[in-house]
Structure 1
């Protein structure tokens, strides 16, 4: 089998920006990329890439991971569209990807509704259906009441499915952005401008996409010594690096200093919009079931999954927004509008673990509880100037600058590379095959155990 070409490897690296590959596997791709290019790597970069790639799936005897290598996709409306094509003359057979496109689904619902005299949004089974006289007047006399009801119910279910699909697609985008910033929207042409830039972005994104570990300590830091070595290559040849692309994922002052004001403004506008979307999702969760704000411990009825994804996305977007404002010299905006960070919900057993090990609530939780809710700040319903945040931080003995409450995040120091653990609901398991069995049986899921899948019995 012929070796992949340089461009094929670049495209595979670019594709990894929307996948969830292990950093070790991305490191191996980067090794292959440099080998295909004929690049002589410096000793530090070569050694650190080799250390990471040593544990890639291609180098392991089993070549297997139990963890999904992409972000879960919402279930589309393919089944409903196929049923609509059978029941409605105006609905043609559509390709499978139409079931993942909300715009096409809505067109089908509206077009099919015209066949039975139903307007979009008329979902009340008791009030919005046509009676016999109305069906006759609408030239639907040849359709029996049973057949009419069947079509009405299908369209009502399709509207509900469309709403769920849009919500889940928003959640997926929020989850990806919260972990990998704007890497997933980078066009290939921009990503492939410079191989060193592509290598750094792909590796840092893979690190960001790592799953959270069940622990009472800090999660793994994204910026490790492999990322630092790859970033040093950008420093060594700053004129070749595509700093604008790097700014999508790594908005340090050093990176942003190389980016033009026009490009910085484009990023700022993009993050402005995303902040509002993340705030909207947070508000949706809050309105459905207000949280225990003083402790941020999960209670029955809390949608902790959506909240935590949206909170991480908000904090990521906020960090980029602060960094861009500062680089553009517009940080005086924070004197008037300085929305706070949003903590994630904590499981009660983790909170208990913290207390038993001598810890307690993170000080940021107390600051968050003293500030207006972020969506209220963005809408201008409540004021949250920098002075208010500083006062809340002072009350709870939190450094507002080091804690990134009133300033961009401080540049992170590189940590040592550690192998990606095989996780089952956040719990590390040594063997990926055993991890598959445990996940299939529902172990560590917080739900009742079940018989493992047939292939593991």
Structure 2
């Protein structure tokens, strides 16, 4: 076998590296560090790389933290996790006889939190969901009839208020966990859902998925132009290895993260339908978050500029997940030969909210808002389309695109986008609120001082600088 087609083999020596690469699918590891892991994977498996792939990996891996003198990044290498209900569960264990002390991990488990709330509620004869402080509490006679007359009014009220707060906390935990999942899906597609055995079945496929996902998980940069595309020259070199030995490539796993026509053409129809169902679910979750943010905020639909009180974080995370799910959904419909569905059901794209300073920057340098914003403003809201309340056929989208000078196909409004071309690799910058800073130690100082955050922390910044 020639060096260019040498296959990575899964062995006991590669197992720890594959485990670490799999864990990176839900993290924000720097692409350089993932490239170093891929080098370690190929070395452990005794894989002889071709010159192009070896040079591409080295181009990224030479900037990994393991090779830098400081070995440090100022940016978190994980997606923000919601604060769990550990404190509330500890308090419940102190107040309720039937609630045991539980491991800290239970505070992040909504099912476990709900079960403990229900158990505690039985102790004071309170039903789950009865949260009205005036109507749902028991008076002295009712407490006596329920067999809890020995609990004073003060102690009863204390327990009732705690359970009411715990239900509110549970709702926040569920919401924030859903937001985190939506954020990861919007960035890295379905890579995070891959079970280890499917991910690691072919090490070459695992290497490509891990690197592409690391690139997709990169943070946005403060700019008035396009963000960097995930598919770069290193990803392209790794993908060429898969193309050179298609019979060994795990195409179904690959379709979770890279649904090009070339990839989907190698996937069985049943697996394509399975992915289509999954993306339908993602569309509905994203639409629910979008609708919730829309109802709680007064968004300026014709400009999509952030106004005071807008929940831009939830909106932008859900909008990115919607766009990713929609693009994958279109690609799968096309591969299955079901494009005719779009003649009747073609929900539009959803733009992100834009900060006023960025919008002003766009107007000064690019002459105005992106034309997609005007198309979005003319179409029915996506959650209304999903529920069948409004119709949005392909003809309606094409007409809106025509009025605003947008190519509906090239713009991804009525079909999958063309496969992305590989972009040049650029080192991952240290970002402070989207602004690139060369030195990670300086970035930590600037972030602590509140620089670039838009907050009034000039005195603190002066102390650092």
Which TM-score band applies after superposition, normalised by the shorter structure? Answer: over 0.9
- The counterpart of 2:409, out of the listed 377, 401, 415, is 401
Alignment partners' CA distance in 2, 1:305 and 1:361? 20
1:244-259 matched pairs, under 5 angstroms: 244-259=252-267
Q: Is the 8 A contact 1:438 1:452 kept in 2?
A: no
Could you tell me which residue of structure 2 aligns to residue 11 of structure 1?
Answer: 19
Q: Is the 8 A contact 2:446 2:464 kept in 1?
A: no
> How far off its partner does 1:456 sit?
7.6
1:37-186 matched pairs, under 5 angstroms: 37-186=45-194
Q: In 2 relative to 1, CA 451–83 (structure 1 residues): closer, same or farther, beyond 3 Å?
A: farther
SS in 2 for 1:273: helix
The superposition leaves residues 317-354 of structure 1 with CA deviations (integer Å, 9 ceiling, x where unpaired) of: 00000000110011110010000000000000001111
1:321-360 matched pairs, under 5 angstroms: 321-360=329-368
SS in 1 for 2:66: helix
- Number of positions where the alignment pairs a residue of Structure 1 with one of Structure 2: 453
Q: Is the 8 A contact 1:291 1:302 kept in 2?
A: yes
Q: Is the 8 A contact 2:379 2:400 kept in 1?
A: yes
Q: Is the 8 A contact 2:221 2:434 kept in 1?
A: yes
Alignment partners' CA distance in 2, 1:449 and 1:21? 30
Alignment partners' CA distance in 1, 2:163 and 2:460? 38
Alignment partners' CA distance in 1, 2:295 and 2:363? 30
Could you tell me which residue of structure 2 aligns to residue 313 of structure 1?
Answer: 321
> Which segment drifts farther, 177-186 or 110-119?
110-119
Q: Under a length normalisation based on structure 1, what TM-score does the superposition of the two structures give?
A: 0.97
SS in 2 for 1:58: coil
Could you tell me which residue of structure 2 aligns to residue 303 of structure 1?
Answer: 311
Could you tell me which residue of structure 2 aligns to residue 197 of structure 1?
Answer: 205
> How far off its partner does 1:359 sit?
2.8
1:242 lines up with 2:250 in the alignment: yes
Alignment partners' CA distance in 1, 2:133 and 2:115? 21
Alignment partners' CA distance in 2, 1:198 and 1:98? 31
> How far off its partner does 1:451 sit?
6.9
Alignment partners' CA distance in 2, 1:154 and 1:174? 30
SS in 2 for 1:428: strand
> How far off its partner does 1:448 sit?
2.1
Q: Under a length normalisation based on structure 2, what TM-score does the superposition of the two structures give?
A: 0.96
Q: Please give the root-mean-square deviation of Cα atoms over the aligned residues, in Å.
A: 1.4
> How far off its partner does 1:379 sit?
0.5
Could you tell me which residue of structure 2 aligns to residue 449 of structure 1?
Answer: 457
Q: What are the ranges of 5 or more consecutive residues in structure 1 without an aligned counterpart?
A: none
Alignment partners' CA distance in 1, 2:232 and 2:368? 28
SS in 1 for 2:375: helix
Alignment partners' CA distance in 2, 1:154 and 1:98? 17
> How far off its partner does 1:442 sit?
1.2
Q: What are the ranges of 5 or more consecutive residues in structure 2 without an aligned counterpart?
A: 1-11
